[in-house]
Structure formats: structure tokens, C-alpha cells
Structure 1
Amino acid sequence: MHDPCAYDYALIRVLPHVERGECINAGVLVCSTTRGFLKARVELDEARLLALDPAADLATVSAALEAFVRICEGGPQAGPIGALPLRARFDWLVAPRSTILQTSPVHSGRCTDLEAALEHLLQRMVRRPVR
């Protein structure tokens, strides 16, 4: 078991009409520089997106969300950004933008298991609550 480590995270949000400010959470980014960990998990709830915008292009939104995953993985398949160091990739992903995909402010946490923290954030912040 690892000692606790600090990590930063941000939610990935879809805003089908940026000017309206309505969004759904579609994924989570987690970064721990001390552990060399940068990962994104995305789960687009298509029904929720279509409730906000019945004409949403689901294929385009899904492809853009998958780009977050590729950039976190790094390497040539992520384009020029994939060649940046881990923290620089995270900082680039969470930089403010005015597109239909945006991230929340960055938050911090501590854990012993980064994969479990990522799963917990996905369950708590992205998936629909279970009654």
C-alpha cells in the first residue's frame, strides 16, 4: 500500500450551447505529479446531453472527449500536446476555454489509491445518482 499522496482533479463538462451556461459532467481528470499519474475517464450520458440539445452531434462530442483520454496517455497518438511533460498536459487540458467542452476549476485531494479516487469522482460527480 502506498503512502497518501496529493492529487489535483477537474471535471470535464459538455456545454452544448456555451452562451446558455447549461452543462453536464462527462468525465474526470486526475493528476498526481509525485506518482507520475495523469488519467481521464469519460462517460457521456447521451440522454442527458440530448435533453439539453436535441440536435447535439453525439459522435463529435464523443470524439472530443476521447481526445482528453489520449492527451492524458501522452505519446504520438495525442499529437504535439502528447509530447509535453505530464503536468504540462494537465495544465493545458484545464486551461479556460469557450468551447462546448470545458473543465471545472481544479480541486485538490489526498489518497492512497489514485485509481480508486478517479472511480469515486466519476461515480460521485459524473454518473447519475442511484436512488
Structure 2
Amino acid sequence: MTPELHVYEYAVIRVVPSPEREEFLNAGVILFCKRKKFLKAICKLDTNRFEAAFPNCDCETEVIRKNLESIVKIADGEKNSGPIAAMELSERFRWLTAVRSTIIQSSRPHPGLTDDPEATLRNLMTNLA
């Protein structure tokens, strides 16, 4: 018997040191599946790749890392992560993937089908970030 597939949306989390140049390094993925009540982000800054891609960047990698960690915490709904973390799953996903012109941005959301959102998230992280 075939497993039941559920619609999901995902976005790639990007580090954009100079938003005006539109150059970025993928650093994570966030996945939302309404039917499975699933929202999770995985973020990891590869410091070596970042420094190789942006050798003249004056960004502090520790600050970037903390911002990426906050995305994971907000997606998880951690109580100490502010008012956004208390929102419903869909609202958190929309807020985390909203268009911004800051150093941490996301791609536009993309749809897909899955029977296992956790495995799909890990697969997307492996292939895209």
C-alpha cells in the first residue's frame, strides 16, 4: 500500500552579506506541512565556505549563527523566542519566509508532496544547503 502524501512548502534560508549585490550562501531549510502539523528549520553556517565566498565581508559569523539559531527556535515555537514563536504554525512559516532585505533571507516558498516531512527536510538540507 502506498503511503499517503501530504502537501508541504519549504524555503531555503540564505546568508546575504550584501543584499544590494544579491549574492548569497545557502545555510538552511525550513519546511511546513499543514496536514501533519509540522514546522521545522535546520540551519548551519559553513564558516569555511562563507569566508571563501565572502573574504571581504565584515560580518561577524557568530552574529549570523545566532540569527540562524533564532530561526530554528521560532520554527520550533520555543517559549523564550518571542511573540512570533507563539503564533500558529502557518503564521510562523509565513513570517519566517517573508521577503526581507537583511543579511538573513529566505527563498520564495516551493511546494512538494511527502509522506515524511522530517526525512524530506533532512534531504532538502543535504541537497540545497
Q: TM-score range by the shorter chain?
A: over 0.9
Q: Aligned pair count?
A: 126
Alignment of 1:56 with 2:62, yes or no, is: no
What displacement does 1:52 show? 3.1
What displacement does 1:120 show? 0.7
Which amino acid counterpart does residue 87 of structure 1 have in structure 2? S
Taking structure 2 as the reference length, the TM-score comes to 0.92
What displacement does 1:2 show? 5.2
The answer for the alignment partner of 2:45 in structure 1 is 44
Specify every segment of 5 or more residues in structure 2 that has no aligned partner in the other structure, as ranges: none
Q: Which deviates more from structure 2 when the two are superposed, residues 75-84 or residues 24-33?
A: 75-84
Specify every segment of 5 or more residues in structure 1 that has no aligned partner in the other structure, as ranges: 127-131
Specify the SS of the correspondent of 2:17. coil
For the aligned residue pairs, the C-alpha RMSD in angstroms reads 1.3
What displacement does 1:81 show? 0.4
Specify the SS of the correspondent of 2:12. strand
Are the counterparts in 2 of residues 2 and 112 from structure 1 also a CA contact under 8 Å?
yes
Q: Which deviates more from structure 2 when the two are superposed, residues 46-55 or residues 111-120?
A: 46-55
The answer for the alignment partner of 1:24 in structure 2 is 25
Pick one of 77, 80, 105 that aligns with 1:77.
80
Which amino acid counterpart does residue 29 of structure 1 have in structure 2? I
The answer for the alignment partner of 2:15 in structure 1 is 14
